[in-house]
Structure 1
Amino acid sequence: MAERTSPTPDQHDDGGGTAAAISGGDGSTSKRVRINDEVTEHEYLDNGSLKRRKVDTGEKNGASDDDDEEDDEDDDEEVVVPDKVTAETAGDLYLETIDRKRLDFDFEKLCSVSLSNVNIYACLVCGKYFQGRGKSSYAYFHSVDEDHHVFINLQTLKVYILPESYEAKSATLDDIKYVVNPTFTKSDIAKIDKVPVEAHDLNFKPYRPGFVGMNNIKQNDYLNVVIQSLAHVGPFRNFFMLENFEGKPELVQRVSILIRKLWNPHAFKGHVSPHELLQHVSAISKKRFRITEQADPFDFLSWFLNNLHLALGGSKTRYHSSFIQKIFQGKVRIESQRITVHADAGDRLRFEADAQIQANEMPFMFLSLDLPPAPLFQDDADKNIIPQIPLQSILSKYDGVTTHELAGHRKRYKITEAPPFVMFHIKRIIKNNLIEEVNHTVVTFNSFALDMGPYIEGATEPILYDLVANVTHESVEDKHVYSVQVKDKSRDEWLRIQDLYVESIRREILFLSESYIQIWERRR
């Protein structure tokens, strides 16, 4: 029997979990560690391979360490290592199985088996979503059946090793947690429009944060252009990137995470899917806006901003009662004269305007602009010519002098309070019960220094606005195709985004497309 040596002070188990390695006579090194009621022995053989086996401690049968002291006299000294160290060591073995290229956290957080949205975990090996991590959960069965062991809770961002069910706390998981829930600081936001950033995805393909494509899952380009436009309205973007919306309505939370993903400089892929937001929009709009059916971008923008306004605690009647209204809402004065019809002695109709003028001041979120009717008949020389009109000409609707006849009334409009961001809706798609007509007249404009002074009451000097986003329309085989032009302020460049396609575009040719919705920012 080999003489037992007294352990050095470093080898004593003082409750702090100090570990000791004992050399065997065969040249191998063995180490015993206690995890709860079980001891695992690790043997590192001469060839460097790891051999691990369980060793019965006797504690499960009620035996204590003192009872087994004589029986263990010939054994190597037992050293207890805390659970935390052992869990991290075992977890590191499984972290190598993570496949980041298969991870996609843009889909709605539903279990792939039960379709439940409660307590959802994502498998970091295959990317599928499962509910729970207990012994009867779908994630547990997946880990056993498929030999996939690393899961992240999509709510708490904690990573667990299954089926053992302990938390992995390796720093190598931080990039995955950031992709699930990107976060930004005030200093990060301050640099967005000033410092150019070029990031790379997992395939080393470059992309610009904030100017990435969005998946057109089926027919959702109408939503893509609206989100892309609003994501470049500075105060709107900053609000949804910085604020904590825990406990707020689901719509607000999903908008926030989508905008943060659009601006994520550490993304695994150079595009984003709006699937999670689309599913919620479809549900709360009672399927008015769907993934599988194209809608009008202006209809969606109007619905979207009003529902965000209400979700943020805004009032249906009070002016500027939410952050959304403080950005986009202004006031316009509407003067209205009723037109009456009289018949003279010759049975001829005579239209007369009442002397009384009714004036009302109304809040607005959008300014609608009317295009002149397209000519019905064209000769051979003019049939290929697309009519054009300057933006200032259709803006004259709001100069307070130009009259418009509508529903038996003659009306004049004048802006009394201009918002920080003004949105134009150029009415080129006319729908009636029978057909849908599209006016292809091109609206010409400069993308900077639009003077709104002539249309704002009390303005004595130019009030300048610069273009932020321009949603455009195109007819392709009797179908509507929408794209958006947005400005990269950090580079003073314009880009055109149509679903997944992102390309540069010259400032001088922005107006050549059929503008449908425009967002302009007031200069400070």
Structure 2
Amino acid sequence: MADTKTGVKRKLVDVPDDFSDSDDEIAPVKDPKVDKSRSCPYLDTINRRVLDFDFEKLCSVSLSHLNVYACLVCAKYFQGRGRKSHAYTHSVQINHHVFLNLHTLKFYCLPDNYEIIDSSLEDITYVLRPTFTKDDIENLDSNTKLSRAYDKTTYLPGIVGLNNIKANDYCNVLLHALAHIVPLRNYFLEEKNYINIKLPPGDIMCLLSQRFGELMRKMWNPRNFKAHVSPHEMLQAIVLCSKKRFQITKQGDPVEILSWFLNALHASLGGTRKAKSSIVYGTFQGRMKVFTKKIIPMDTPEKDKEELLKTEEYKETVTETPFLYLTLDIPQAPLFKDELEQNIIPQIPLSSLMTKFDGVSEKEYKTYKDSTIKRFQLTRLPPYLILCMKRFNKNLFFIEKNRTIVNFPIKNMDFTEYLSKDPEVQKRNPSASYDLIANIVQDGEPGPGKGTYRAHVLHKSTGKWHEIQDLHVADILPQMITLSEAYIQIWERKDRKAEEGDEKPKTQRQPEN
């Protein structure tokens, strides 16, 4: 058979009619004069503008995930490349010829069925499966250059929009925040760190770490074809691993998914109860002392109270427990109004909320059985401290949102006074000064499952803050962040080098060609 464009005669090789991976092993008979694998005449038909590898790798006809090929002309997925396969049929009927095996990363020309080897296709395989060397990772926080997408738009790696499929912005803001946790990001940019982790047979939790790693590499890819990424596969892994507790079609609570996600990601990495048994615990886990004292019922006679206080049941107990984030209680907003009868939005400093953990302040906790008074005191601060503001309170009729503005500094927040004065504790915490790196805000209707969410993240290399809400990405002044109704915050502990060193010189950013 002669190639219609090159005129070179070529012997066709029969391929199996099934859709198994065996058809990948078929090697075409090469012309001794022309190596057709290196001279495919259809490479100019590839349309990079439509290529999108963020979605689940399923055949668009059979919905199978086995042996799937992407048509590089229309970006649709098809199974197999044998004579009766969907990819083969598509190539004949629609006249599309260049396909990419999404598993082996090999290119093929159909229906002739020969492998294409061409260096000009490397940008496509890199978008499908980005890889980072140690040098690439080390330079991420010092590179200030803008990258240029295929449609000529520019973007900063790490500062890219995430598609909102229907109601998954509560997941998107969390993924944006976690993408800027340096040790977590660096760990997942190297696939070898977690790809071979062995879990018990049938445990699907490994899917969570794999999908999270893929998303991190795509968000920080400096060679993307577009300035946004779809978290579709990551969200599907969350739905599957949470047993549909979290959905992409129903609004959720970022605090609730934060608690689940950190513990689930820790488990997917084979983590145990030991400190630093995974990158999750090593990054976010701190410790605190909990002082608990049971309250004597109000109807107890006075003569019996003294006797009860002497019993073990009513003595104060002390336990030390780990935590991955701290919940801060915002006091109820007073019903003050100004001269125009408008409600006054109260403000409270973050330091006042943190007194919950000073070891002195007490809070009553009620259960259906009894009531207890608890005190909390921090004994170890993690490298990255997550704070969650309790803004929603449920009464008998509806969920009410507390719109109190929490005042906080962007830099140099000192948590020393909330640490135990024990010399051993002080020794384990040489630094208690933190800088804010991520801030999540809830807007709209009250209720953790309602409204919309947006994230403020700091891009370290440029020192600039960005506001991201789904596909919307914009610069924001740090002063505006302090005026927002903060819901979740992530603080980074400052090391001695950062405190003693000078700020990095600001350089003008230029887009990469």
Query: Does the pair score TM above 0.5?
Result: yes
Q: Deviations over 1:34-55 (max 9, x none)?
A: xxxx7x599xxxxxx9656689
1:60-209 equivalences under 5 Å are 81-82=31-32, 85-89=35-39, 91=40, 93-209=41-157
Letter matched to residue 331 of structure 2:
P
Partner of 2:477: 506
Offset of 1:82 from its aligned partner? 2.8
Equivalent in 449, 455, 459 of residue 484 of structure 1: 455
Partner of 1:234: 182
Letter matched to residue 329 of structure 2:
D
Offset of 1:345 from its aligned partner? 8.1
Pairing 1:473–2:436 present: no
Equivalent in 258, 264, 276 of residue 301 of structure 1: 258
Pairing 1:419–2:419 present: no
Pairing 1:271–2:228 present: yes
Offset of 1:430 from its aligned partner? 2.5
Q: Deviations over 1:289-329 (max 9, x none)?
A: 111101101111111111111110012x3333222111111
Partner of 1:292: 249
The percent identity for this pair of structures is 45
Q: CA RMSD in A?
A: 2.6
For residues 148 and 113 of structure 2, what CA distance do their matches in structure 1 show? 34
Runs of 4+, deviation exceeding 6 Å: 352-355
Compared with structure 1, are the counterparts of its residues 84 and 332 closer, same or farther at alpha carbon in structure 2 (3 Å cutoff)?
farther
Partner of 1:33: none
For residues 86 and 95 of structure 1, what CA distance do their matches in structure 2 show? 12
Aligned length: 451
Partner of 2:279: 323
Partner of 2:500: none
Say whether the 8 Å CA contact 1:337–1:353 is kept in structure 2.
Answer: no
Compared with structure 1, are the counterparts of its residues 345 and 516 closer, same or farther at alpha carbon in structure 2 (3 Å cutoff)?
closer
TM-score by length of 2: 0.83
Q: Deviations over 1:116-172 (max 9, x none)?
A: 111211110000011112222111111111111111111111111111221111011
Q: Deviations over 1:221-261 (max 9, x none)?
A: 01100000000000000000013243452211111111111
Q: In proportion to residue count, which structure has more strand?
A: 1
Partner of 2:493: 522
Letter matched to residue 472 of structure 1:
V
Say whether the 8 Å CA contact 1:339–1:353 is kept in structure 2.
Answer: no
TM-score by length of 1: 0.81
Q: What's the secondary structure of 1:471's corresponding residue?
A: strand
For residues 484 and 442 of structure 2, what CA distance do their matches in structure 1 show? 7
Q: What's the secondary structure of 2:104's corresponding residue?
A: coil
Partner of 1:374: 333
- Of structures 1 and 2, the larger Rg is shown by 1
Pairing 1:463–2:411 present: no
Letter matched to residue 234 of structure 2:
L
Structure 2's unaligned 5+ residue stretches are: 12-29, 198-205, 496-513
Compared with structure 1, are the counterparts of its residues 382 and 318 closer, same or farther at alpha carbon in structure 2 (3 Å cutoff)?
farther
Q: What's the secondary structure of 2:486's corresponding residue?
A: strand
Pairing 1:365–2:336 present: no
Compared with structure 1, are the counterparts of its residues 50 and 506 closer, same or farther at alpha carbon in structure 2 (3 Å cutoff)?
closer
Q: What's the secondary structure of 1:457's corresponding residue?
A: coil
Compared with structure 1, are the counterparts of its residues 87 and 490 closer, same or farther at alpha carbon in structure 2 (3 Å cutoff)?
closer
For residues 417 and 169 of structure 2, what CA distance do their matches in structure 1 show? 35
Structure 1's unaligned 5+ residue stretches are: 1-37, 43-48, 56-79
Offset of 1:434 from its aligned partner? 4.3
Pairing 1:260–2:217 present: yes
Compared with structure 1, are the counterparts of its residues 353 and 436 closer, same or farther at alpha carbon in structure 2 (3 Å cutoff)?
farther
Say whether the 8 Å CA contact 2:431–2:493 is kept in structure 1.
Answer: no
Letter matched to residue 394 of structure 1:
L
